[in-house]
Structure 1
Amino acid sequence: MQTSWILCFTSVAKVLSRLSMRLKSTGRPSAPLGSRILTDRDDVFKHNMWDHVQWTEEDKENARQKAEDNSCVRIPVTEQGKYNTGAGQYWDSFYETHQDKFFKNRTWLFLEFPELLPLGAHSSDANGRQSGEPPSCGFSSDAETRGHQHSSITEQHRNGDTADCQQEDSTQTVTFPGQHAPFRILEVGCGVGNSVFPIVKSIKETGTYLYCCDFSPRAIQMVKEHPDYDRSVCHAFVHDLCEEMASFPFPPQSLDVILAVFVLSSIHPERMQEVVNRLSAYLKHGGTLLFRDYGRYDFSQLRFKKGRCLSENFYARGDGTCVYFFTKEEVHTLFTNAGLEEIQNLEDRRLQVNRGKKVAMQRVWMQSKYRKPCPLPS
């Protein structure tokens, strides 16, 4: 009994020691999802972002009431159809207006999603740490599982789980861009390339090929005109994920990774499942779908005014683009119904700070990893 108590005390001491070191760090917080913890409310305006923020019951109730209030007046049913049929035009106008100035390049990708690189490849972040190295886990209410989940999927990926799946190679008899690449990635809803170009920069000389698509022709045009666009490792194309008959330029079961970052939320909730089902069909057995998107009661949901709600937790912005806000349970159902198995499914709660205006905003994002299981041996 005494030995167990000593071991428990030692484990707690180690965790507190690691947390103390993180709080003193001035570099980028470690993955997954950061580890800059706000322990003193008086320090809130010292940084632009705080990680793993714990909501009180009062916070949750206030958020629920705000969402209920801003969704009580909905866009008339007779007007809702235009947001579906005109989605492509709305996003085309968005990119025409904002060009590549609206979103920043996602340099955090390889810290949170090391699965984007094939076995043996590395991508260094600003602090010189390589994505091939298992990162330390975050510290929050979910921390006890985060480190294990993140290290587990990274190890499985590095050890070649995809290669271990015995399957027929459907790519050998079909001619398509990137057909000879041993590792293939697809980014859906790529926009103007904020994920594309960090990936392109990191995959050269790794044998990896990247496909990227968006249903905005203007966005794809901007990707192709970018000076870092490299046709030898990347193929950009226009594609509507909701169009059942639209084909991809590669065969089923040919992808190692599918990346969906802030894209499924723009699709009507009633159509999301069919989209994920179709995407799943293009993953190899052992392939991974990486997902990041808006979470329920994010600041951006609570700031909507009355009359912008289309359906429960689904809104139309002033420019005509739409956005949905997910829960962990909805994400899990969406991907497991498509035949994928959970590797990671996290709710990322952060406090985003505008130090100039002295405003703190509670952000909620979902981050998930789901894998296509290997078929059982006959």
Structure 2
Amino acid sequence: MAQEQPLQDPVAAATAAAAPPSEEELSSIEARQVKLQKPLPASIISPEKLEYAQGVIAKDKAIKPFWVNKYKNEAAKNWDRFYKRNETRFYKDRHWIEREFSIFSSSSTAAEGEEETKINCLEIGCGVGNFIFPVLDLNKRLFMYACDFAPHAIELVKQHEDYPQGRCSAFVCDLTKDPLTDTIPAGSLDIVSSIFVLSAIPAEKLEAAVRNIKEVMKPGGMICFRDYAVYDAAQVKFSSNPGRMLDTNLYVRQDGTMSHFFSVEQMTELFEREGFRVEECGYVHRETINRAMDLSLDRRFLQAKFIKL
């Protein structure tokens, strides 16, 4: 059946795409980035659009177990290939962080003459530093640990012109199996940022990842979370092209990297079970307009703050 056909083997796909992007391809990449983001007029997807999304996704079926296991087992390898191929060109710096998570702002509570308290943070799945360096520039009190399971991404972080300032420590780590305490003192972090990261992890490994993060956080420490949400336009697109579903709400891209789409209920249950209080957890809706391609898409993300008890 059509939906049972696997994607091209990621090794072959990576080899075919190994050449650096041309100027024309780079322009296309830029065109795919968000040209305009604004809140939708309503706080929820319209009933008609939601019904359509549910119908498309319900008809999709997972590919054969052999391919499911292959993509899950090769997740780190495929992300490393992604960064080798795209270097620092794919993602834009995330200057919207202060707007969404004011905890990273530069406000200070120190009295005049007192030394400002250092804030210890961790960026999981840091990529090439699109979050790290804008935030460090925003708040001089921050010290940022940064980890990713793609070695090439960490190399690029360390090559950044601001890295030698001594306010960032980047290291390779697979959150699902490598203890963060090998690098970060237990119970030492004030803030952990998880921005479009846990979606790259299969559901059966999420508990291990959250427990790992919890070990290095202080009681009262906060996880700032933002990721893909169920019924997002990207999920509908995946299900419209059978052969990409690995599991419920989990899909594989053409390059072998994975994308999970979360619900409020799923994330609330996961973090409460692992010893966190949910301070806030809800859907964020955006209309993404791609002027170059004359497209308008309803994007749906999940944004939350979790406090370690």
Question: Normalising to structure 2: TM-score of the pair?
Answer: 0.81
Deviation, 1:242, is 1.0
In structure 1, how many angstroms separate the alpha carbons of the residues matched to 2:182 and 2:46?
Answer: 45
Shift in Å, 1:119: 5.6
Residue identity in the other structure for 1:292: R
CA contact 1:314–1:324 (8 Å) conserved in 2: yes
SS in 2 for 1:230: helix
Q: What residue is the counterpart of 2:58 in the other structure?
A: 68
Change in CA separation of 1:118 and 1:258 when aligned onto 2, cut-off 3 Å:
farther
1:114 Cα shift? 1.6
The aligned runs of 1:100-111 (5 Å cut-off) are: 100-111=88-99
Distance 1:286 1:118, change over 3 A: farther
Question: In 1, distance between residues paired with 2:292 and 2:79?
Answer: 31
2:173 is aligned with 1:185: no
Equivalent runs, 1:82-161 vs 2, <5 Å: 82-117=70-105, 120=108
What is the identity percentage for the equivalent residue pairs of Structure 1 and Structure 2? 34
- By relative contact order (CA 8 Å, sep 6+), the higher-ranking structure is 2
Q: Determine which of 217, 229, 247 is the counterpart of 2:163.
A: 229
Aligned to 2:19: none
2-structure distance, mates of 1:192, 1:360: 28
**Bigger Rg, which one:** 1
| 2:283 is equivalent to residue 347 of structure 1 | yes
What residue in structure 2 maps to residue 358 of structure 1?
294
CA deviation string 1:225-260 (max 9, x = no partner): 011213421101111101155644122110000000
Change (3 A) 1:61 1:223: same
Contact 1:295 1:366 in 2 (8 A): yes
Matches within 5 A, 1:1-378: 48-52=36-40, 53=42, 54-69=44-59, 71-72=60-61, 74-117=62-105, 120=108, 182-204=118-140, 206=141, 208-245=142-179, 247-304=181-238, 305-373=241-309
Are 1:190 and 1:213, in contact at CA under 8 Å, matched by a contact in 2?
A: yes
Q: 1:279 to 1:50 in 2, by over 3 A?
A: same
Give the unaligned 5+ runs of structure 2. 1-34, 111-116
What are the superposed Cα offsets for residues 40-88 of structure 1, whole Å, 9 maximum, x if unpaired? Answer: xxxxxxx83330443222111100011123x22x221022222122111
Paired AA for residue 98 in structure 2: F
More displaced stretch, 84-93 vs 216-225: 84-93
For 1:351 and 1:84, how far apart are their aligned partners in 2? 31
Would the aligned equivalents of 2:250 and 2:258 in 1 still touch at CA under 8 Å? Answer: yes
Shift of residue 356 of structure 1? 4.0
1:118/1:287 CA distance change after superposition, 3 Å: farther
Kept in 1, the 8 Å contact 2:106–2:138? The answer is no
Contact 1:187 1:210 in 2 (8 A): yes
Displacement of 1:358: 3.1
